[in-house]
Structure 1
Amino acid sequence: MCRHLAYLGPEEPLGRLLVEPPHGLYRQSWAPRRQRYGTVNADGFGVGWYAPGDPVPARYRRAGPIWADLSFADLARVVRSGALLAAVRDATLSGADAEAAAAPFAAGRWLFSHNGAVTGWPGSLAALSRTLPPKDLLSLEARNDSALVWALVLARLRAGDEAGQALGDTVPEVAAAAPGSRLNLLLTDGETITATAWGDTLWYLAEPGRRTVVASEPYDDDPRWQEVPDRTLLAASRTDVLLTPLKDLTEDLASAPSEEPCT
């Protein structure tokens, strides 16, 4: 469910990255080519972008489909940025959160998106939620799995973890609590992109020294797009992309020897 994209590179109009490509995020809202779960991403969308000289991104989010928002089409034509994160949300059950449930989520300089779903939500993450300060739980932007996963990531960032460590520790922890979850996470601070491939598709397009795009699926047929293997952490800048295997805690638990009772 959902599709998302992050970009670092020369300043471009938002529309050139999200609307104009033949298979861009705009078209992926109704005709994704590689989406494994869900078919229509019409339950909200959002884009966050960075302006020169300001480390705190701006956001534009709505509860409806991206194709129905004429204001976004106008905004995307003229607003330019060298760093952005955008997402379209899969059609889901109705709720009261409206655009607050649409990515990107934000805090300070960070933008975050979750492509996937937590199995057994909300009960499966009850224990993990209790590791967060009450203030963090009460200030969640939305009452969905993505917002709680973001809170878990953000708690690690605020504690001093680097982006890769924050995602690399959160994903296996959530997967162990809720086996079968799909946890493709995307995080940027306007200078770097960090992402995980865990249960759904993730691709990247790199032109070292110029631009890097990380997305759920390619927005065109450029042969330089490369797929990220499942269970992988991606760390990227404008100059390079690093892929690191992610540890699966559920496999460790399954292979751990059982304890013999004391006699």
Structure 2
Amino acid sequence: MCRHLAYLGPEVPLGRLLTEPEHSLYRQSWAPRRQRHGTVNADGFGVGWYAEGDPVPARYRRAGPIWADLSFADLARVVRSSAVLAAVRDATLAGADAEAAAAPYASGPWLFSHNGAVKGWPSSLAPLTVSLPAAELLSMEARNDSAFVWALVLNRLRGGDEQGQALADTVLEVAEAAPESRLNLLLTNGESIAATAWGDTLWYLRRPGSGTVVASEPYDDDPHWREVPDRTLLTASRTDVLLTPLKSPEPLKESRT
């Protein structure tokens, strides 16, 4: 369910990442190549990007399929950024939250997306509500599993956790409460990326001078794409990618330029 992508690198038009590649996120909305659950990601889409000198990202989100929004093609052609997070959505359950349920979710400098589904939502995560301040529960952007997972991550970030730690601890907490959940999470602050592979595909592309892309699946057939093993935390900057098995303190693999 869902496909998402994050990018850090030289400033590029959004379209170069999201619409132009042969198997771009745009095409993945109706023809993903590696999606394990669901077939069409037509329940909304969104993109968040950072402008130079402003740590708070802008967002463009819609409730319908990305191919039905002609304005997005124009936006993607001219808006440029060096840090982007985008997603196309396949809803876990029907709901009335419209574009509020579409990733990326945002707060302060952070953008967040969830590719997957929480098993037994919402009753399975009811015990975890006690870990959240009432104000955070009441200010959730939408009433779905992804928004609740984001609230858990955000609570940790506001408590001082690094991005990777916030994602790892949230995944392990949710997986314990709701076994068989799929929890591929993606988070950026415009300077670094953190992501988890837990139940669905995750890949990354790192080429000297071209920045770093982390995505649910490759958007082209470049041989430099590398798959992330399941149950792994990925942390990345513009120059480094680190993979750490979840529940293990030591890096599994390191890629440097």
Q: TM-score, normalised by structure 1?
A: 0.93
Segments of 5+ residues of structure 1 without an aligned counterpart are 249-263
What SS does the aligned partner of 2:119 have? coil
Q: Aligned pair in 2 of structure 1 residues 73, 209: CA closer, same or farther (>3 Å)? A: closer
Please give the per-residue CA displacement for 1:108-143, whole angstroms capped at 9, x wherever unaligned.
000000000000000000011121001000000000
What SS does the aligned partner of 1:205 have? strand
Please give the per-residue CA displacement for 1:3-46, whole angstroms capped at 9, x wherever unaligned.
00000011111011100000000000000000000000000000
Distance 1:201 1:132 in 2: 29
Q: Does 1:60 align with 2:60?
A: yes
The match for 1:179 is: 179
What SS does the aligned partner of 1:242 have? strand
Question: What aligned pairs does 1:123-202 form with structure 2 within 5 A after superposition?
Answer: 123-202=123-202
The match for 2:219 is: 219
Distance 1:21 1:194 in 2: 23
2:203–2:217 contact (8 Å) kept in structure 1 = yes
Greater Cα radius of gyration, structure 1 or 2: 1
Q: Read off the aligned partner of 1:81 and give its amino acid letter.
A: S
Please give the per-residue CA displacement for 1:201-223, whole angstroms capped at 9, x wherever unaligned.
00000124540000000000000
Question: What aligned pairs does 1:25-36 form with structure 2 within 5 A after superposition?
Answer: 25-36=25-36
The match for 1:4 is: 4
What SS does the aligned partner of 1:73 have? helix
Q: Read off the aligned partner of 1:60 and give its amino acid letter.
A: Y
2:92–2:117 contact (8 Å) kept in structure 1 = no
Q: Read off the aligned partner of 1:101 and give its amino acid letter.
A: A
Segments of 5+ residues of structure 2 without an aligned counterpart are 249-257
Q: Could you tell me the percent identity over the aligned residues? A: 83
More moved, 203-212 vs 128-137: 203-212
Q: Read off the aligned partner of 1:96 and give its amino acid letter.
A: A
The match for 2:117 is: 117
How far does residue 58 in structure 1 lie from its aligned partner after superposition? 0.1
Q: Read off the aligned partner of 1:112 and give its amino acid letter.
A: F
How far does residue 96 in structure 1 lie from its aligned partner after superposition? 1.3
What SS does the aligned partner of 1:147 have? helix
How many residues of Structure 1 are paired with residues of Structure 2 in the alignment?
248
The match for 1:69 is: 69
How far does residue 225 in structure 1 lie from its aligned partner after superposition? 0.1
Q: TM-score, normalised by structure 2?
A: 0.95
Q: Read off the aligned partner of 1:230 and give its amino acid letter.
A: D
How far does residue 168 in structure 1 lie from its aligned partner after superposition? 1.0
Distance 2:244 2:227 in 1: 13
The match for 1:90 is: 90
The match for 2:44 is: 44
Distance 2:123 2:212 in 1: 37
How far does residue 92 in structure 1 lie from its aligned partner after superposition? 5.0
What SS does the aligned partner of 2:150 have? helix
More moved, 23-32 vs 93-102: 93-102
How far does residue 247 in structure 1 lie from its aligned partner after superposition? 2.0
The match for 1:254 is: none
